[in-house]
Structure 1
Amino acid sequence: MHLQFSLIDAFSFSILIAAAIGWVRYRKIHPTYHPFIYLCWLGLLNELISYFLIYNGYSNAVNGNLFVLGEVFLITWQLRNWNGIHYFKGFYTVFILLCIAFWALEMFLVPAWNQSITGFRIFYSFVLVIMSIECLNKQLSTERGRLLKNPVVLICLAFILYFTYTVIVGVFWIYGFGGSADFRRGMVWILIYINVLCNLIYALAILWMPAKLRFTLPF
């Protein structure tokens, strides 16, 4: 069991790679990518808090529930910077307000304060998948270079992979499709592996993020 916990810890802190690269390159990266850097830092902070709480016998549900609200805000901010979606004027504002309302309602309805909220995760994950697909389609229709060097393409692909599986896991949990304990454990491990893969993709994407534009005087 100790080996499993150690392995999970190592996988959880894989976001450290992207967060560290973002820290080093932050001043050079174009400001339109900054929300994603903030997301990586927030993810690392959440993992640090979770590690401390769990190994001291406490639940990490509270900070996890707070993290998902910050996560959806930062990802929406980032997708807006990329102009990835144009359903109607004020779409992003409406989406964030809906998320806040849904989050607050589920937090009020959960039986215990230290219980993770699932309905909200399914809702915002599903919408983020759609938004990421729209943003990816826009990039693919305009990109003429190497796609694996396009940070927007890489990040959108990672978002689609991670949040699609998050929706699947959430639906299984809510509707009781979890099956046996081994099956549920397997689903969690798959999510852990996907999280590691996405964190590595994030690190690669940050390496390819363009630098700030340099302006020179015309004389």
Structure 2
Amino acid sequence: MKSPDDDASPAAPQPENPEPRYADRVFRSPSGIAGGVLLLALGGWLGIDAVINGDGRTPWVALAGLLCVVPLVVAFTLRPAVFAGEDRLRVRNPFRTINLPWASVEGVRAGYSAEVLAGGGKYQLWAVPVSLRQRKRATRRQARAAADDPSGRTKAHSGVDIDEKLRAPADQTVDDLRELAERNARRKGAQGEPEVRWAVELIAPAVAGAVLLIVLLAVG
């Protein structure tokens, strides 16, 4: 007599060591976010006051100005971000989102700005601003640290390169992205070509507000 377990279909084999998945690493500019919040708060206060207390065409001009300016402030301050996942690099710039599979990334560099080279194109990383002042300050710190420890004992004891700990933030971020590109380029899910999507949700209201503002000022 068969037991109920004899008719049961065998369970699908499970991989012995499934590859772990990790959340995306996110790179953003804290100063840009702080500046954007401040500008939105100031603009909202002035604009709403003009809408409520303004006379004649002033409320309409204020509304048109808010419709035009708010998306631009969001685009250049709050929106920029870089998301580094296992399979791809997603670059969110003011008006575009660029999806770059790691296999398509040819290089990441930081000169006067941080850039990623992929698929024969060049894309700026707005969320990773390069500060020459921070770079010079980091160079001075590295020189002082090397002078204080000429034998390199601190480096040997900690196992960490002293220059790596004192890098400028943008340069360190670029090094991290370069390392991720080299590590993940051979992954099956990291193959493909760059994809670009325009941020219509920000472009459309900004253009509409600008057109409305021009019409109101022209009518006089």
**Fold match (TM-score > 0.5):** no
Higher RCO (C-alpha 8 Å, min separation 6): 1
Instruction: Give the number of the structure whose residues are more often strand, by fraction.
Output: 2
More helix by share: 1
TM-score, structure 2 length as denominator? 0.30
From the CA coordinates, give the structure whose radius of gyration is larger.
Answer: 2
